[in-house]
Amino acid sequence: MVSVSRSRCIDLAESERLEWLETNGIGGYASGTVSGIRSRRYHGLLVAATRPPLGRAVLLSGFEETVSIGGKKFALSTARYEKAVSPEGYKFLKDFRLDPYPIWTFSIDGIEIERRIFMPHGENTAVMSWAVLNANTDASLELIPMLAYRDHHHLRHETANFPYDYQVDIGTVRFAGFDGFPALNLACNAAKIDELGVWYRDFAYTIEKERGFDFTEDVFAPCTFGFDLAKPAVVIASTEKHTFEDAAELEQNELKRRKQVLALSEPKDETDELIAAAADQVIVARGKGKTVIAGYHWFDDWGRDTMIALPGLTIANGRPEIAREIILEYFNYISQGMLPNRFTSGNETPDYNTVDGTLWFFEAIRAYTQATGDLDLIKGDLFLKLVNVIRWHLEGTRYGIRVDDDGLLAAGVPGENLTWMDAKIGDKVITPRLGKAVEIQALWYNALRVMESFAERFDEDRTRTRFSDLASRAKESFEEKFWNAELGCLYDVINGETKDASVRPNQIFAVSLFYPILKGERACAVVDRVEKDLLTPKGLRTLAPYDPKYIGKYVGGPVERDSAYHQGTVWAWLIGPFIDAYLRVHGDEGDVIESARKMLTGLEEHLQDTMLGSLSEIFDGDAPHAAKGAAAQAWSIGEFNRVRRKLRSR
């Protein structure tokens, strides 16, 4: 359980900074801050996945909440406008907790009122309740629903044609669909419903302002709901049809499901429990299979992120069947030997502009088969598909991806960046890595050895020999070309005669992967260099601080932030491969294990901060390494969990 004390709750700067997240397993979510202020355009009580797992739309932005006790009115909600914070319900907060979903306790004149919200799995539904806990008192509640009806990337502004009509059935108010968004049903046990029909103007979203985006919004309030708090007030906001009586069964079923997820992870401590829940939040349905939302709030599902995160999200949490579903689903999207880079809400066809996502697919399959022994997954047709993927890389596929005469994998065309360091400003590539990137060679070698192992298990002798020869050739060329004797580490990219000596974390994969392309003294030197220049309490920097191109703060508008994204910014997910490499060169004796465990302390503490119960995408390169980027990132969660479990087994 995550708990926020009264002192932190009534500190507006603190409670507005702390966020919560509920997800529904199909891409939809509810999210906000402990204070109740919406600080992002992405915050809302029902953000529905209209084309699961994508097409996310903010339908119900929030409520204005007012409780009446003994004839006096008190606000429970809190909102920030451009020039004021009003109302100020946060001042009555006694505490906030995730237990397992968001629960607020308000204390007003000795009366305690509890607000809850959760999302049932598999549908675009949010269930909310308000209840008096400790007294029989004459109390009532007024809720004013605020509708946005917009894509979660955009903002709503007052318009004359916003749908005003709504239908009232027994216990349900139905708001018509608008601008292509689905209808919204609010099932409740309200004692009365009164028409309102007004706009609330100029909500101010502070994080959007900090990020250099439009940050004010208008939302529409069609009516008011009145409740007698002699019994709990219940509202079910959904694109489905429910009655308020469904709330108890929905809660019971969801609590049972979450307990099952938790039990499968076999938690040993509170961190295990939190990370199992965080992992569950990013796993979503895609078609008949599963995929991974790369990060909340704004990312869709990305092939690269999914494959990197997969072992830690699924296998490490006792859910290998989810890993299997993800792998099978992505087999459906292989095209010209490539896995999709990402699926986007606006396109039916995914983007295929990645060189490493496909190579991580091999490692994900290897991890799954090693953990389960389920070689039947890929025996036969799927193995042949993997062989065909290798053939495409040998002969050449999109964006100049091809194996060169030296056996190394080249990739890229001007104006594109196919590796994970993919930031662009317009047509400008911020971190140009055209040619032969160091981690791509490590991943290519690893994929070839994985295929060699599979071929051996399947008695495919000629195929096994072919993969073995390709891997040996790649390793020989890598050792010859990538060693930077001056710095005692690896070049980041080689493009013809040009060698980029930037000290970046990408070289760690040459040591960390299951089949390392680099061993011995050079591997030790790489780990030492990365530890010295790049390791922080929150992960690895993307560039050494002494480099002239280093940017230590991820701040400003899109141009400033994208310029810093891979130029010094710390990425949490990189702690996983670093610890793998650290253990490989230093062994797994007690002192080494203890040192590695201490490297995770900063992220363990972060689970109680920013997005409560989850891990952020990135952090400033400079101390104190403030959290930035997406507030709940899949590969941060997955790699933290995978390597933490690995250390425990030592």
Write down the pLDDT at residue 397.
Answer: 98
CB 20 within 8 Å of CB 32: yes
CB of 327 within 8 A of CB of 374?
no
* CA 535 – CA 530 distance, rounded (Å): 6
Q: Distances from the Cα of 552 to the Cαs of 351, 451, 464, 563, 624, in angstroms?
A: 31, 40, 46, 11, 11
CA distances from 568 to 244, 431, 533, 555, 576 (A): 51, 11, 11, 12, 18
Tell me what pLDDT residue 230 has: 94
Please indicate, yes or no, whether residues 132 and 167 belong to a single structural domain of this protein. Answer: yes
Q: Is the same domain home to 110 and 230?
A: yes
| C-alpha of 188 from chain center | 32
For 462, residues 6+ apart whose C-beta sits below 8 A from its C-beta are none
| 282 and 236 co-located in one domain | no
Quick one: which H or E segment has residue 29? strand 29-33
d(CA 206, CA 12): 13
Q: Please state, for a pLDDT cut of 70, what percent of the chain lies above it.
A: 100
Host H or E run for residue 541:
strand 539-541
Domain count, the chain: 2
Shared-domain flag, residues 88 and 20: yes
Quick one: pLDDT band at residue 170, thresholds 50, 70, 90? confident
**162/291 same-domain check:** no
Tokens standing for 620? 């400033």
pLDDT band at 104 (very low <50, low <70, confident <90, very high): very high
Rounded to an integer, the average pLDDT of 271-297 is 97
Helix (DSSP H) and strand (DSSP E) numbers for the chain? 18, 37
Pair 236, 384 in one domain = no
Q: For the residues 254-265, what does the mean pLDDT come to? A: 98
Helix 381-395 vs helix 438-457: crossing angle, to nearest 10: 140
**pLDDT for 569 beyond 80:** yes
Q: What mean pLDDT comes out for the span 624-641?
A: 98
Task: Say what the pLDDT of residue 469 is.
Answer: 98
Which contiguous run of DSSP H or E holds residue 60?
A: strand 54-69
Encode pLDDT of 449-500 as tens digits.
Answer: 999 999 999 999 999 999 999 999 999 999 999 999 999 999 999 999 999 9
pLDDT at 639: 98
Chosen domain end from 239, 256, 273: 256
Q: What is the pLDDT of residue 346?
A: 67
Mean pLDDT of 253-260: 98
**130-156 average pLDDT score:** 94
**pLDDT, average across residues 204-215:** 97
Q: Domain holding 415: CATH number?
A: 1.50.10.10
- Same domain, yes or no, for 216 and 277? no
**Domain identity same for 249 and 342:** no
Non-local CB neighbours of 411 within 8 Å, separated by 6+ positions? 355, 399, 400, 401, 402, 418, 419, 434, 435, 436, 437, 440
pLDDT for res 279: 98
Report which of residues 135 and 71 the model is more confident about: 71
Chain segment 487-536, per-residue pLDDT in tens: 999 999 999 999 999 999 999 999 999 999 999 999 999 999 999 999 99
Q: Which of the listed residues 227, 256, 285 is the one where a domain comes to its end? A: 256
Same domain? 306 vs 409: yes
Q: How high is the pLDDT of residue 220?
A: 95
Average pLDDT, the chain: 96
Q: Around Cβ 333, how many Cβ atoms within 10 Å? A: 17
Instruction: State the average pLDDT over residues 205-212.
Output: 96
Mean pLDDT throughout 600-616?
98
Name which of 159, 215, 168, 220 is nearest 192 in CA terms: 168
Give the mean pLDDT of 556-570.
Answer: 97
Domain boundary among 233, 256, 279: 256
The secondary structure of residue 254, as a DSSP letter, is H
CATH code: domain of residue 135? 2.70.98
Spatial contact of 398 and 366, defined as CB atoms under 8 Å apart: no
Please check the confidence at residue 239 and state whether its pLDDT lies above 70. Answer: yes
- For residues 530 and 505, the answer to whether their CB atoms sit within 8 Å is yes
Query: So what's the pLDDT on residue 347?
Result: 67
Phi-psi sector, 173: left (phi>0), alpha (psi -120 to 50), beta: beta
Ramachandran assignment for 562, one of left (phi > 0), alpha (psi -120 to 50 degrees), beta (any other): alpha
Angle among Cα 178, 183, 184 to the nearest 5 degrees reads 120
Q: What is the pLDDT confidence band of residue 163, given thresholds at 50, 70 and 90?
A: confident
Q: DSSP assignment of 94-133, as one string?
A: EEEEESSSEEEEEEETTEEEEEEEE--TTSSEEEEEEEE-
130 with 269, same domain? no
Cβ-proximal residues to 384 (8 Å cutoff; 6+ apart), any chain: none
How much is the pLDDT for 135?
A: 78
**Banded pLDDT at 650 (limits 50, 70, 90):** confident
In terms of residue numbers, what domain contains 290? 265-649
How many Å apart are CA 567 and CA 425, to the nearest integer?
14
Q: Going along 133-261, which residue ranges are E strands? A: 139-151, 166-169, 172-175, 184-188, 192-204, 216-228, 233-238
Per-residue b or e along 298-311, where b marks 16 or more CB atoms closer than 10 Å to that residue's CB: bbbbbbbbbbbbbb
- Collapse the DSSP code of 276 into the 3-class scheme (helix H, G, I; strand E, B; otherwise coil) and give the result: helix
Query: Do 168 and 238 sit in the same domain of this protein?
Result: yes
Distance CA 102, CA 220 (A): 25
Please say if the pLDDT value at position 615 is more than 80: yes
Nearest partner of 26 among 1, 46, 7, judged by Cα: 46
pLDDT for 323 equals 98
- pLDDT the model gives residue 164: 65
Percent of the chain with pLDDT over 90: 93
Do 248 and 275 share a domain, yes or no? no
Residue 337 Ramachandran class (φ > 0 left, ψ -120 to 50 alpha, else beta): left
